Amino acid sequence: MKKILMMSAAAAFVAGTVVATPTVADAAAWSKCKACHNFAPKKKVGPGLGKGNGIPGVFGRKAGTFPGFHYKYTKYIKGDAWTWDEAHLRKWMCNSKKAIKEFTGDDHAKTKMPPQHVCDPAKQDEVIAKLKSIS
């Protein structure tokens, strides 16, 4: 009987670990975002990523348009900027310094945001799913 209970407990532990892993992975995937961004329409170091109070979430929002934050964007993100969609977000998450040059067509373009090096497609999927859910 003890052997059956021990095996059941071990199986439950393993099952619990497998089930809990995506939650841990989710938090790790967007923890870099949380260091500078709120998942609400409230600025932190960077602009807010979530929607509310008439502000759209970042997914589908034109870059450089977060209200009251225009003074912090570099000159390269003002004006005729791109829209944050999956393709732009994936490149930005992997290397924002390289991405801004590509998005603007200017080899001298700069951003204040450091490269986050979230280049793994599975981790990017988690971040994009989170951004879509709050947009």
pTM: 0.75
79-119: pLDDT as tens digits: 668 999 999 999 999 999 999 999 999 999 988 888 889 99
C-alpha dist (Å) from residue 127 to 7, 8, 70, 85: 37, 35, 24, 12
Kindly tell me the sign of the dihedral angle through the C-alpha atoms of 121, 26, 113, 60. Answer: positive
52-85: pLDDT as tens digits: 988 899 999 999 888 887 767 778 887 668 999 9
What 3-state DSSP class applies to 131?
helix
**Phi, psi at residue 83, to the nearest 5°?**
-105, 140
CATH 1.10.760.10 fits 30-133, yes or no: yes
